[in-house]
Each structure stands twice: as structure tokens, then as C-alpha cells.
Amino acid sequence: MALRDLLFLLADVWMIIVGFTFGWKFIRNYGNYLLGLEWIIVATSGSNFLVYAAVGATEESPMYTVAYFFDQFSRSVGITLILVMGLMRVTHRYKPSVGTDVGVFAFAAAVGLSLLLFGERLGVGVAIFLIVVNVLTTLFLIYFSKRLWAIGAKGMAIGAGLATAAGCVIASTYDFVHIPGDDEAHTLFYIAALSTWGFQMFMYYFAYRALHNHNESAATKPDLREQSRAGA
């Protein structure tokens, strides 16, 4: 096995493990189905991509169609709108209804399917659209990192900021840049992309946890003061 193939395998397995592990943790620990299910969807996409690469499937394979759908699903709505809505749970105490959760995933599926069916006709417009939604998401993630810095979680703020910057670079180059020396399967690019996406999901989970714990601590302080007065 060539070194680049081994690195691709490790990067994909890293992303899969992070996605399934922390997706489940988002659901179990915080009841955040938006982030939890999106993390699991990314991990599922990575699993399909791993099998697709392992068996050497072609673009005529159903696995390629599934991979393309998941890719468009997450790049258009999943790691954009769904990510922002999920993080707003700790930045704005926003808790969507079950209907909203279902609706936004249905919307993401519809957008992913539309891009799968009509992406070639739309041409470069699709790539531009994906960059625009990524830039808008990046602006929110900068705010998210600033909130972490403001509560004193400076390590998390730096980590989330670095993950966001790396993700922005990947999104900006995805459809436009070919790494010199890369092969036709874009193996070097996907090594960087899969590693970055895994790093993003990893960092955003712990950053979310830091803000959640801060919010919980702040919410209990008035009760502690009242208990102190009552005891006096």
C-alpha cells in the first residue's frame, strides 16, 4: 500500500470515528439532534467513501451516487445551516422543535438531491453557491470562537478558530484548486479534507461542551445566592 493510500485510509477512519462517537454524544449528553445526526451523517458518508475507495468503484457505481449526495447534503445545508442552528443552542439558547429538526433535514435532503440531479446543468454556479454558504457559516463560527474567548475558554476558542480556518480553506479550494502532484482521484486533497472535517467535528464538540457548561454554571448562580441568603 502506497503512503498516500495509507494516509487517506487513516484520515477517513479518523473522520468516521469522530463523527459516530461525538454525534452520539451530542444526542445522549445534550439532546442536540441537529448536530448529533449531522455528525453521524458525515461519518456515514465517510464509511461509504471508504468502501468506495477500497473496492475501486467507478463513477457508475451506486456508491458514487450516494457519496455525491451526502457530499452535497453536508456542504450545502448540513455543515452550514444545520451546524449554525445546532450551535445556537449554546450561543442563543435556541432549542428548535422536533418539527423544525425534521424540516431542516428534509430541506437538506431536498437540496442535496437537487444538486445531485441538476448540478452539472448549473455548472460553476453550484461551486459559487457552496462557497457563499460556507463564508456565511464561517462568520458565525468566528462569533462562536469569540464567545468561547469571552468566557475564558481560550484554548477552545483557538482550537475552534483553527478548525474553522482550515475548513474554510478546504471549502474554498474544493472545486477550483488541484494540488500539484495529486492523482486523478484527488487523494492528497481528500487526505487534507477528511483530516480537517474530522478535526472540525472534534473541536466543535468540545467547544460546545465548554459553552454548555458555562451556561449551566451561570444559570445556577442565582439559585446559589438565594440558598445562601436563606441559610443566613
8 closest CA partner among 61, 58, 54: 54
The whole-number pLDDT of residue 123 equals 80
User: 208-228: per-residue pLDDT in tens?
Assistant: 999 999 999 887 765 544 443
User: What is the rounded radius of gyration, in angstroms, for the C-alpha atoms of the chain?
Assistant: 19
In a domain, 227, yes or no: no
Report the alpha-carbon distance of residue 47 to residue 41 in Å, rounded.
Answer: 10
In a domain, 8, yes or no: yes
In a domain, 229, yes or no: no
In a domain, 230, yes or no: no
User: 154-175: per-residue pLDDT in tens?
Assistant: 999 999 999 999 999 999 888 8
Give the 3-state DSSP-derived string for 154-187, with helices as H, strands as E and coil as C.
Answer: HHHHHHHHHHHHHHHHHHHHCCCCCCCCCCCCCH
User: 54-70: per-residue pLDDT in tens?
Assistant: 887 777 888 889 988 99
192: CATH: 1.20.1070
In a domain, 126, yes or no: yes
pTM, two decimals, is 0.91
Number of compact structural domains in the chain: 1
Angstrom CA distances, 177 to 1, 171, 200, stand at 26, 10, 21
In a domain, 66, yes or no: yes
Full domain range(s) for residue 30: 3-222
